[in-house]
Every structure is written in structure tokens, then in C-alpha cells.
Amino acid sequence: MSTSRKDSKKKEEAQDVNYVEHLWSWEEVEKEFGTSITSGLSDEQVLKNREKYGKNELTPPPKTPEWLKFLYEFTNFFSLLLLGGGILCFIGYGIDPDKDQTNLYLGVVLILVVLITATFSYMQEAKSAKIMEGFAKLIPKDCKVTRNGVKSKIDPSELVPGDLVDVSDGDQIPADIRVLKATELKVDNSSLTGESEAQERTPENVNDEGEQIKVALEAKNLIFYTTTVSQGSGVGIVIGTGDTTAMGQIATMTQEQEADDTPIKKEIKKFILLISAIAITLGIIFLAIGFAIGTEPIKNVVFMIGIIVANVPEGLLATVTVSLALTAKRMFKKNVLVKKLEAVETLGSTTVICSDKTGTLTQNRMTVLHCWYDHQIRNTPPAKNLPDLRQQLAADENAYDINSPSFIKLHRIASLCNNSKFIFADEKDDSGNIVLSAKAQQDNFASSLEEPTFNVLGMDMTSDASEQGLMKMAQLVKDRETYHAEYPELIQIKFNSTNKWQLSVHKQPDKPYPLLVMKGAAERVFARSTSFLENGEAVPVTPQHKEAFEKAYEDLGGLGERVLGFAYKELTDFTNDFEFSLTPQPNFPTDDLTFAGLFSLIDPPREGVPQAVAKCKRARIRVFMVTGDHKTTAQAIAKQVGIFDQSVLDAGKAKVVVGDDIRDLMNIEDEAERDRQWLEILSYEQLVFARVSPKHKLYIVDHNRRLRGEVVAVTGDGVNDAPALKKADIGIAMGIAGKDVSKAVADMILMDDNFASIVNGVEEGRLIFDNLKKSIAYTLTSNIPEIAPFLCFIVLRIPLPLSTVLILCVDLGTDMVPAISMAYEEKESDIMDRPPRRAETDRLVNRRLISFAYFQIGVIQALAGFFTYMVVLNDYGYPPRELIGLGLEWEEWSLMCSSDDRNRPGSCGYGCGSPKFDNDFYDQDIFQGDDNFSKYCEDGCRAPCVLGEGECTEEVFVASADPFSEFDEDGYRGGDFCDLTCENYCEKVYTGSDVQDCIDADDNLPNDFLPAACTEGRETQSVGFFDRGEIKPQAPKGARYWWDGTAQDAPNQQYQQAALEYAQTSYFISIIVVQWADLLISKCRKLSLFNQGMRNSFMNFGLAFETVLGALLIYTPPLNTVFGTRPLHILHWFPGVPWSILIFVYDETRKSLMRANPGGWVEQYTYW
């Protein structure tokens, strides 16, 4: 064997399809596989080859269980952050000695948020079809094989290399096969190579110059697994099965591609890292501050958790998910099905679109666009029906003349020398019932052509693509069946690769002799002609005729169109009843013809594609055509759709790169040099890649991303596109013509197969990025008024202005609908005039956005909250100047203040704590039934009466006072007294022997409580205010309880707590009030609200929603209990209004300055 598979194998990265068998002699093939080209494999050799090569099946990838896919939804960083916050809340609840339910509720809600959004994402992104399942659907049902010299039918999975296989018209190729014999064999390779026309296959593997074709996918002697025989028949030897087939190699490449994170996922991950860093840093800093100022450790940890949770925008995950889903739903109405939610934004970030030609930029059907007769190139309107034809003919002065004698004859030849027929199939409803039968459609075909909505171009037909295109054009001029009935066929010579023409002979209705008509390769048909049709009459061919023909042929070929020649001959020496024969040679002449003219066909651009490409250019998106078709055709289509501009071509800034160029590049050993040459190619302003293989498409995508940092979108419909679709930042498959494999790996599916739909998607993608940015700006601003209360609570020690549960009400309640309403915001007028965003500079959340949300609007909102909070507390009798330093004990002890003669509070603090009955020396059982026990109150003690006032005599006072009371006749005794026990009390009150008498409970003492507490062998130093040490801040001597704006003799902890809850509720309402303005200013980043307007009805609903929800939370009694809110007086809604107006005026001024000074300081530092 001269060449082995191993010896001929190039380095892996330069391969297209790993085959060299098409270059071998048949002796080498027989030897390699142990087969015979006449009798096939023996049974023994079949077993050997199966053991060596395996079954003819594709290896499925490992399957991921659905439950694991669901769990994967919890692994994104945002979900992990919220889960961490939920766990911290549970920890905070567990270690909190007071068991505050708020942390428990908050933890449950955070876990539920993650669970709901993960479930939603899983359901939205569940893969409807798996990659290899799509490939599996391509497997043929049976095949014809010869083994031991005997023909039989077997399951294709039983085939092995070396099998001798027969294929015929309509068969799906069961493996990769080297052609041994071929009879007019053509195969449809469109799903594999992108070629729109059926490709001729022969045993000889040479090109038009007689050179051997080395590239396997272009070899004329190979037919590939899952492609279809469109014409003829053939016999061949199997050279590849299963994973080694071209399709199997593509499947393997597809599986090997690892999809990177989408741009929006990267942006959100960076954002969450930033927010996490801020939250954790602040939490640690204020934990340290708390320890430094002596806060209880457990309480300190609980508040650190509160700071972290307050920093996390809990509603953002749901907002992003819902916004993407809403946009996906909107895109579906524009014929774009989004399989992967995050792909919505990726399309908006796209900088390069690598588009397949066939079926995406073009219609995937050969259509006649030009004809040439009487020395003139005429347009052939691609009309859909007769009204459309009449309209186009009237509008186009250069269209063919339907009454021209020359055109009538040219049209007759095209119609008669044509084997294609229209296919009519029953139309059924969803239940399978026939709505319109095939027979009824056929009978009404002529009348259907008169309907303006009918599209003959979209009908299915038999025969090859060129014949179909010719017949669809001809049908609108004269009905095919009528023509063929008038001119019945007598004999036909089919097209073959040797002749490159087809002819048929027909009876003539008005003449006694038959008519011979011929079509085929234009130069071959012209060479067989001796006459030329001019103005309906045959004249001898002259050099001028030949020159005119060659110019027309070159001009039409230069347009990338397939040019066919047409000729005829009236067989005057024969009669209509003559018996024509083809064996051994035709018994009639096939030359000396009259050349009638040319028809040229091309797979034309889809409607709207040129406009869509122009829109992409305006948006600075580069559109590359990437096709397996020929260079000339690709360049012609590129010009027609606008991918190539003639001016750019003339300037040398546009280039067609063919597959051989890429192979040469990949064979360069020096990686740096290889990358340099790739960069040189990719630097061209406009590019078309032609005759490329599936692996080449991968290289194009990879080098654009790796070397130039492009965000690449790839479109495709065939199996050959699957690897690139998966590798790209966003893969876009065709919904109609697309194979299941391409749909399975794609992120989006174009339901109408129209490139123009991609541009709609780009607009929506850019809009969702803008709107997400606005939504995040709106959401983040409320972080500062949520965080600031915790910071002031720890640092300034004021009563907590906003509870964690109310933070949750903002993030997951009042802010949710307004934030989501941004998804409905209209696009800005310049959205497609901007260049694509660059990931490294135009971030979803940048420093300017953080500065705007946190340090500008957020600070104003926080000030509004504190102002409202202080106004309300002041209205309930607690002036702002008295709040600092009292916050940590506010909910545990009753406030005590001194007052002046105008009853204004002076210095405030707290008295002693409650007695603890958990010590042997202070047993509660001793005091059961003792009247004096009531004086040891749990929440503070009532002040004794004031001497000289009312009935408060000295006897009454003495009777009501005990040695350990916090009060005497002048009010609170002060902090020193809180430490008293039996022993040190006596030492402070008495001197000398009276001290011991005091300790021994002399009967002269004020009451009998002291003996009961201090005798009976107890240790006197332990009995008294046990475990009631001094509380900070300590109330001054003479202070009394302070509530309801005045000094009180008895504590009222409920009033004090209620006042704080009213203040917290007002803080919560103030956030809603300032968020009104925040929502309005977030509508546009630079334009004034007065320009953008208030046309977003969902946003208007959002404004009402957050207000109504806030009212429900504070005015519904059951919700008051759940959320710790209070029914505010209506006036307490208004302190935040001036701040809301300030926010609006500030932002309108900022935007006005930006518009007045583009690129100025304000724009540089505040445009987010």
C-alpha cells in the first residue's frame, strides 16, 4: 500500500475530515478492508471488521440527570450569595438569645427566592432535544448490501467498512462510501457542506482541470452518511462508519466544544462579586466597631448579618430572570425562539455575525433571475403568483417581454425539457383530519395562482433544484401540464456528466414533425448549435453571435448565477409517430441546433436581508458570510445583500477567503506567525469565507474571539454548522430548514429562517442590556437607605430606623414590580446607531453607576429616610437630640430622662435592670405571698410618691420605699445604687455599730423585708440587686420615665416600642416616596424624562403598585403583626416628598449638563 491512513494524517488541527481513502487505488481499498469490489465482504471478514471498527452507530455523550441539571441552577454566584445570606439569617436566629423571628422569616424568604428563580430558569432553559438524539434521527432505516456475492437488505447499524453498498434515487446514505459505479448520480450535500445544488458524484476524483481532488469533503468519489441521493444510482465501498464518518467527526467536534459563560452572566458575576465584597467588608468593619464599643458579642454578630443582608439586592435575581424571560417572549412574537435566556443579551453585545448563506441569507431554492435572448440580458421577476408577475413586469422596463417570439420559444424549451412536477400533499389540522386534499389542491392549482397570497416559489417539486427553479418561472407564463399535454414527450436523454446536457423530443400539435429541445451547460449547448434565434427566426451563427453569447455568459456567471443554455431543432425529416430509440446509438440527430438563449439561476437573497445587513453596518456589527458554496457564488450573493460594497472591494478592504487559504494557515508551525496571518485576514473590513469545512467554521469563530475579543454570533441550519453553533458566544439555528442537531446546540432558533429576524434580536438584546442597567440602577439606590440604619445603629447607637423584615418588603415587595417594569421600557432612538458594547469598558455595573446609585441618589434617599424617622419620633415625644447612644437598649429597657421647668427632656438613659431569680441566694420561692415582691418589677419600678404632694406623708413614703428601690422622693437614685446588696447598703446608710445592727435586721429599720432577705445564713454580699449591674447609658439622678412627651412615674415599654415601630414604618414609606423619583430618573440615562415620556404603561402600574402595596403593609392589621408596621398618620407620608423632588431636579440638571457639554466632566464622571 502506497499510502496509509496513519501516514497521510496531517496534524490534528489542520484536518477537515480525516479521510485519505478517496486517494487510494481500488487494490489498496480491497487490501485495507479485506473486501472485494465485486462480491463484497465475506461473513468472516464482517465479524473481523466489526470487532475492529465497531458498529455503525454514533457514540452518545454521557447524559446529565435532570435532577443534577436542576441543582446546577443553584450554583450561579447570585444564588449562592442569597443562599449564604439565608443561612446567615438562620445562624443569627439560632444564636440570638431573644429569638427574634425576623431573622427566621428573612432566612426562609431568601431560600424561597432562590428556589423559585432556580425552578423558573430550569423550566425556561430545559433542553428540548439532546445533541446526539438529533444525530440519531438522521440514521436511515435500511440499506442494500452485497456480501459473499449475494445482495440483501440489512439494518444500517450492521454495516462495516468494506461493505459493498447500492444506493439509488431518494435513499439516505447509510455510511461514508467511496463510489465504485455511478449512473447520473447526484447527492444533496446541503446539510453537510452548505451547497444549495445537488452535487454530481462519479468514480473518478478529478476536477475540471483533470487534477486529483485531495480535500475529502470536496471529493467527487465520496458520498457521506445521512446525505440524500437526489438523482441516479450508484455502488460503492463503505470506508467509514459510526464515529469515523464525516458526520461522526462533526458530532465529536460538537461535543468537544465547551460553551463559555455568556457576557451577561460574566457581568452579573462581576457585579455580585463587587456587591459581596462591599457587604462582607462593611459587615467585618462594623463587627470590629461593635466589639470596640462594647456591644454584646451575639448581638454584634446578628447585626453584622443584618448589614450583609441589607447590602444584597435580594430581588435582583428575580428581576433579571423575569426581565430576560419577558424579552424572550417578546422576541418569540418576532419569530425568534430563545432557548437560553441569557442569550437574549448576548445577541445585543454581538460584534460579528458569521452567517451561513444557504437558507439564511438566501431562500434555499434556485430561482431564475435573468434570461438572454435577442442579444439582450433581461430580468426575470421571481414572482410568487400571477398578480405579482403582472405587477413586476409592469414595473420593470428591463423585464422579459412575454409576447416576444424569441422569448416564447425560449420559454417553451425550458418548460418541455424539464422533468420536475409540483407535489401536492393533504393539508391536515392538529388532530390529523384532512382540511384540504391533495386532489383538490391540484384541481384548483390554476385558480390558486390568481390569488395574491399564493406563493408558487414555496411549493415542493420533484427533480433537482435547477429544474424546479425553471419550472416555477415557466408555470406563471403557461401551465406545465397544459404544455406537456399539447407537446407529448416521445423520448428523452437525461443529463449526464459526460454530455452535460439533457434533451427530449415532443410531438407538435400544429405540425406533422416532432420538436427536439435541449438544455444544459451553456457552452456545450451553444457548441452544438449552427443557428441562432433572432426575433423569432433562425439565422446562421456568426462570430458576432458567438462573441455576444460569450459576453452574456461571462456577465451572468460573474453575478454568481448558474447559466443554462437552451436550443431546439425541428425534426422535419421525422414524423410524429416515428419510433425513436437510444440504443445502441440515438436514431435521430442531436446537433445542428438553433440556439434560443440563456436562463440564469441563483439561490436569491431573502426578502429584507439587504436592509438587515445595512442595519448591522449602521450598528457597527460586521457580517461575515461563511459557506461551503463556491467562491463566485458567495461573492455574488455578498454583493447582493450588502455584505460586500463595491467601493470597499475596489479599495482592497474586502476579501474572499477560501477553505484552501485556511488549510494553508493551519499548516503553519509557528503559532505566533499563524496568529499574525489570521489577524491580517480578520482585519479586513468585509469578509466572505467560501468552500469552508465544519472545522474551518470553528477556526473562524475561535480566532475572532481569541485574537480580536469579538462577541461572535453564528447562524446555521445544517449538521455541519453544529460545532460552530456551540462554540460561538451565541448559536442561532434555523427553525424551518434547520436540522434537529443544529437546533439542539443553538441558543436561539429563527422560526422563519430569516436573517432579518437576527437584527430584531440585536435590537432586543441591546435594549435588554440598557433596561437591565436601568433596573439595577433603580434597585441599587435603595441599598444605601437600607444599609445606613444599621450603620447608625451600631456607630451612633440610635434606635434601629429600619428593621430587616422591612428591608425585605422593599427588595422583594415594593421594588420588584417597578424594577421589572424596566423590561418594558421602549428602546432609545439611537440604539442601532451605537457601536456594540465592549465588555472591557461598557460594563453592566461600572464605577459611575455605583457612584450614582450609592453616593448620589442613595445618599439623598438615606437622608430622606432619617429625616422622616426623626420627625415621627419627635412627634411621639422623643426628640432627635436624645436618640444618640440609646439605641441598643431601646427595645429592652424603659427610657428615663431628666426634665427642666418647661418639661423638656434633658439628659436621658436607663435605670437598673430586672431582678434575676436564678441564684441560690435570691430564691424567688422566699418571696411568694410577700407584698414586697411586687416592688421588684420586671420592666422597671414605679416611682414612690413625692413627699408633700397629695397624700404622700413621710409615713406613706417610708411604707412604700424599700432599701433596694431605684427611686426615692427625688426620683431615680442613680447608677451607684444599682449595685447595692444587704452588706454594702448598710455600710452606706449607717456608721459604727449601726452597720451591724442593720445587717442583723434591727426592728427599727423601715420594714421587714431586709431581714427576710439577709438573714437565715445567707451571704449578705450576694443578696440585693443580684446581676443588675450598671446599664449604659445610665440615666442621671433625679430622672423619671419618659414617654408621650413628658416625665412619667411608671414605665410604658409598649408605648416606647410602638413609637419606634411608627418611626420605622415612616422610614419604609419614605423609601417608597423617593423611589418614585428614582424610577422616573432611571427611565433614561441621558435624555430628559420629558423627551422619553411616560408611555411605559407597566411602569406607570409599577408606581401605583409600590404605593398601594406600601399602604396595604401599614394599614392592614394582620400585616402590622407580621411585618411590625404601624398605621401612619397621613401627614407622615409627606416628609419624604421634598427629598423626592430634590432627586428628580438633581438628575434632570445632571442630564441637562451632559447634553449641553458632550464628553464633559459631568458625562465622564456621572454617565452610567
Q: Distance from CA of residue 1045 to its chain's centroid?
A: 58
Find which of 250-254, 406-410, 732-736, 772-776 is predicted with most confidence, using mean pLDDT: 406-410
70 exposed, middle or buried (CB, 10 Å; 0-12, 13-18, 19+)?
middle
Of residues 528 and 768, more confidently modeled: 528
**Contact between 749 and 743 (Cβ < 8 Å):** yes
What angle do helix axes 694-708 and 659-666 make, rounded to 10 degrees? 60
At 779, list the grid cell: 434597585
Place of cell 481500488: 26
**pLDDT value of residue 546:** 93
User: Which region, left, alpha or beta, applies to residue 428 given φ > 0 means left and ψ of -120 to 50 means alpha?
Assistant: beta
Find which of 389-393, 617-621, 763-767 is predicted with most confidence, using mean pLDDT: 389-393
Which of 731, 649, 404, 693 shows the shortest CA–CA distance to 536? 404
The H or E element that residue 376 is part of is strand 376-379
Residue 469 half-sphere exposure toward CB, CA atoms < 13 A: 27
pLDDT in tens, 84-109: 777 877 887 777 766 667 677 777 87
Instruction: Give the active site residues.
Output: 356
**pLDDT value of residue 948:** 56
Q: Alpha-carbon distance 1057 to 873, whole Å? A: 11
The H or E element that residue 336 is part of is strand 336-338
Distances (CA, A) of 936 to 107, 744, 964, 968: 38, 76, 9, 15
The answer on pLDDT for 926 being more than 70 is: no
**pLDDT value of residue 492:** 93
The answer on pLDDT for 260 being more than 80 is: no
The H or E element that residue 1117 is part of is helix 1117-1123
Q: Alpha-carbon distance 501 to 590, whole Å? A: 11
* 190-215 mean pLDDT: 79
Q: How far apart are the first and last CA of the chain?
A: 69
**Contact between 1084 and 778 (Cβ < 8 Å):** no
Distances (CA, A) of 445 to 386, 440, 481, 1009: 12, 8, 11, 115
Lowest mean pLDDT among 140-144, 231-235, 767-771, 991-995: 991-995
929 exposed, middle or buried (CB, 10 Å; 0-12, 13-18, 19+)?
exposed
**pLDDT value of residue 1006:** 43
The answer on pLDDT for 404 being more than 90 is: yes
* 834-844 mean pLDDT: 76
* 308-322 mean pLDDT: 70
* 133-144 mean pLDDT: 59
Contacting residues for 880 by C-beta, under 8 A, at least 6 apart: 870, 873, 874
**Contact between 1102 and 818 (Cβ < 8 Å):** yes
| Burial state string for 584-617 with b = 16 or more CB within 10 A and e = fewer than 16 | eeeebebeebbbbbbbbbbbbbbeebbebbebbe
Give 193-239 as a DSSP string.
H--SS-EE--S--B-TTSPBP--GGG-TTEE-TT-EEEEEEEEEEEE
**Contact between 490 and 506 (Cβ < 8 Å):** yes
At 193, list the grid cell: 457542506
pLDDT in tens, 332-342: 888 888 877 77
The answer on pLDDT for 3 being more than 50 is: no
Q: Alpha-carbon distance 940 to 918, whole Å? A: 19
Give 589-608 as a DSSP string.
---SEEEEEEEEEE-PBPTT
CA 971-975-977 angle, to 5 degrees, is 80
Distances (CA, A) of 953 to 913, 941, 964, 989, 1039: 29, 20, 20, 22, 22
Q: Where are the beta strands (DSSP E) in 609-701?
A: 622-626, 654-658, 686-690
pLDDT in tens, 155-196: 888 999 999 999 988 788 889 999 999 888 888 887 677 666
pLDDT in tens, 1044-1093: 888 887 788 889 999 999 999 999 999 999 999 999 999 888 888 888 88
Which of 769, 787, 786, 868 shows the shortest CA–CA distance to 825? 769
Find which of 98-112, 933-947, 1125-1139 is predicted with most confidence, using mean pLDDT: 1125-1139
**Contact between 998 and 1065 (Cβ < 8 Å):** no
pLDDT grade for 807, boundaries at 50, 70 and 90 = confident
**Contact between 1143 and 861 (Cβ < 8 Å):** yes
Which of 1036, 1057, 1072 shows the shortest CA–CA distance to 1120? 1057
Backbone angles phi, psi at 1051, to 5 degrees: -70, 160
**pLDDT value of residue 929:** 39
The H or E element that residue 530 is part of is strand 529-534
**Contact between 781 and 857 (Cβ < 8 Å):** yes
**Contact between 655 and 681 (Cβ < 8 Å):** yes
Give 36-58 as a DSSP string.
-TTT-B-HHHHHHHHHHH--S-P
Q: Alpha-carbon distance 882 to 905, whole Å? A: 8
Q: Distance from CA of residue 1031 to its chain's centroid?
A: 58
The answer on pLDDT for 292 being more than 60 is: yes
Q: Alpha-carbon distance 1025 to 1046, whole Å? A: 28
Distances (CA, A) of 128 to 125, 721, 738, 837: 9, 19, 15, 31
At 1116, list the grid cell: 392592614
The H or E element that residue 367 is part of is strand 367-373
For 917-1044, where are the alpha helices, taking DSSP H only? 954-960, 982-989, 993-999, 1009-1014
Backbone angles phi, psi at 528, to 5 degrees: -95, 5
The answer on pLDDT for 15 being more than 50 is: no
* 726-741 mean pLDDT: 80
Q: Alpha-carbon distance 988 to 992, whole Å? A: 11
Average pLDDT across the chain, whole number: 82
For 887-981, where are the alpha helices, taking DSSP H only? 954-960
**pLDDT value of residue 955:** 59
**Contact between 938 and 1056 (Cβ < 8 Å):** no
Q: Alpha-carbon distance 1064 to 869, whole Å? A: 7
**pLDDT value of residue 97:** 65
**pLDDT value of residue 952:** 62
Lowest mean pLDDT among 80-89, 147-156, 640-649: 80-89
The answer on pLDDT for 1098 being more than 50 is: yes
Of residues 544 and 794, more confidently modeled: 544
Q: Is the dihedral of CA 208, 209, 210, 214 positive or negative?
A: negative
At 940, list the grid cell: 422597671
DSSP 8-state assignment for residue 934: G
Of residues 794 and 11, more confidently modeled: 794
